[in-house]
A = this chain, B = another copy of it.
């Protein structure tokens, strides 16, 4: 039970995730979320004006998991090569964890992600900006050859889709996945690195 006055958007988002996990994306309603919290559905609507807005916010929160760690890697000091490798590794690990720790919730989010292409685009934009930051640092330290920063960042993101896009999740449990990730990394690093 939550009193209306103490209600936070974070509580609503957590409850919405629980409801989605329990009922699935087709059946979950705002009334279910309100009932879980012991508040009226009007209270939920004060935070999220529509069911669609609530679903979008839940999707955004889910996509943003692991973002803090990634954002930190993008802005910290240190060689760009090591940071970019670590950034990609952390992203892959985070996606893999989501896919395998709770496969049913993962499937639910695949549905939500399909509904909220604008949120997904913004999410991808944020990730590419972080890569661009590292790429720029690497060009400044002459670790990477000079090239158009944003195109290069996007190419790195797209080149690694196999290891972060949920469409490829089925291959992430392959015993050779880590080895293949490293082979891909070597290829990409070769493409980025300044010629000796």
Is A190 part of the contact surface with B, judged by Cβ < 8 Å?
yes
Is A118 part of the contact surface with B, judged by Cβ < 8 Å?
no
Given contacts A161-B168, A180-B154, A180-B155, contact A189 B187 (CB under 8 A): no
Closest to A176 in B: B154
Is A158 part of the contact surface with B, judged by Cβ < 8 Å?
yes
Is A183 part of the contact surface with B, judged by Cβ < 8 Å?
yes
Interface membership of chain A positions 63-85, coded 1 if the CB is closer than 8 angstroms to chain B and 0 otherwise: 00000000000000000000000
- Give the one of A147, A156, A183, A192 with max B CB within 10 A: A183
Alpha-carbon separation in the docked complex, A156 to B186 (Å): 11
Is A145 part of the contact surface with B, judged by Cβ < 8 Å?
yes
How far, in Å, is A89 (CB) from chain B's closest CB? 16
Contact B187 A156 (CB under 8 A): yes
| Pick from B152, B163, B180: contact of A187, CB under 8 Å | B152
Given contacts A165-B168, A167-B168, A168-B167, contact A159 B188 (CB under 8 A): yes
Contact A145 B188 (CB under 8 A): no
Interface membership of chain A positions 130-168, coded 1 if the CB is closer than 8 angstroms to chain B and 0 otherwise: 000000000000000101100110111011111101011
Mark A residues whose CB is within 8 Å of B. 145, 147-148, 151-152, 154-156, 158-163, 165, 167-168, 179-180, 183-184, 186-193, 195-196
Write 17 A-B pairs (CB below 8 A) sorted by A numbering: A145-B190, A154-B183, A155-B183, A156-B187, A159-B159, A159-B162, A159-B184, A161-B161, A165-B167, A167-B168, A186-B191, A187-B188, A187-B192, A188-B188, A189-B191, A190-B192, A190-B193
